């Protein structure tokens, strides 16, 4: 690839998935970057909601956490966390939940709790926060993460956020009426669930990426769509917007890294 990084391609491809009329529950890190690039480019009227209760926020910099003051200062309104979850989320008023993952399996089940055995973990992760409820109650779920065999695994160590379970109609059998994960955007490709099995399938490779590179960084046997395409490269506007956002963020947070 020339002119942009794989991380920039991932963020911009994720941003493109959002529509102007979406009401989006935003995760911190890569999802937040994608959602705000969308807001600053093709989706100026998108409603961004963060777990702390901020609705319609329009931050100038990326937040380090859901409690970042920038979110409250730029929000249309701020509600209590119980109202956010009970009225807005569980009330079916949020169209898209945008999440990240530490581990992800082929059916979109997410682990952000522990690596290894729960009682004696190798690594204890930040936990679920509101992600389990987001995964169950938003109209659909988008996921963004870098590819690696540690991240894309055959079997996750802990079910933090339910995707499509063991596949097929698992969500319906549990009484979940939302779509669940409908899109996975990595630094190498775009994935969508098979309509029947719900297994994530690669539908588009980012510029310069090979099938072999995708397989080498995935812990299961990858399926590729029959009509496999190439993701359009970032435009100058998209790149300039993302880079300016990252530069403002670095300056505001004293150089602290924001994914």
Active-site residues, by number, are 51
- H or E segment at 168? none
Using the structure block, give the residue that is written with the tokens 């929000």.
Answer: 75
Give the β-pairing of 96-99 and 54-55. unpaired
Contact in structure between 89 and 138 (CB atoms under 8 Å): yes
Helix axes 6-16, 30-40, angle to 10 degrees: 60
Report the alpha-carbon distance of residue 243 to residue 42 in Å, rounded.
Answer: 16
Q: Where do the DSSP E strands lie in 6-100?
A: 23-26, 47-49, 54-55, 77-78, 96-99
Give the β-pairing of 189-193 and 181-185. antiparallel
3-state secondary structure of 193: strand
Nearest CA among 33, 228, 123 for reference residue 13: 33
Contacts of residue 211, defined as CB under 8 A and 6 or more positions apart, other chains included, come to 202, 205, 222, 224
Give the β-pairing of 181-185 and 140-144. parallel
């Amino acid at each position: 690839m020339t002119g942009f990084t794989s991380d920039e391609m991932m963020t911009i491809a994720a941003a493109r998935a959002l529509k102007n009329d979406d009401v989006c529950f935003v995760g911190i890190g890569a999802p937040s970057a994608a959602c705000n690039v969308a807001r600053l480019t093709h989706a100026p009227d998108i409603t961004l909601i963060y777990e702390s209760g901020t609705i319609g926020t329009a931050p100038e910099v990326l937040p380090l956490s859901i409690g970042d003051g920038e979110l409250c200062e730029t929000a249309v309104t701020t509600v209590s966390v119980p109202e956010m979850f009970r009225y807005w989320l569980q009330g079916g008023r949020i169209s898209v939940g945008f999440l990240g993952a530490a581990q992800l399996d082929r059916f979109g089940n997410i682990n952000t709790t522990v690596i290894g055995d729960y009682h004696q973990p190798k690594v204890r992760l930040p936990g679920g926060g509101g992600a389990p409820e987001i995964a169950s109650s938003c109209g659909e779920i988008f996921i963004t993460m870098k590819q690696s065999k540690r991240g894309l695994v055959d079997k996750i160590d802990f079910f933090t956020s339910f995707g499509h379970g063991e596949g097929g109609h698992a969500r319906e059998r549990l009484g979940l009426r939302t779509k669940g994960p409908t899109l996975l955007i990595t630094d190498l490709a775009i994935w969508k669930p098979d309509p029947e099995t719900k297994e994530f399938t690669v539908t588009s490779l980012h510029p310069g990426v090979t099938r072999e590179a995708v397989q080498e960084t995935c812990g299961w046997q990858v399926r590729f769509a029959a009509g496999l395409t190439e993701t359009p490269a970032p435009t100058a506007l998209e790149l300039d917007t993302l880079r300016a956002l990252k530069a403002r963020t670095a300056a505001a947070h004293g150089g602290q890294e924001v994914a």
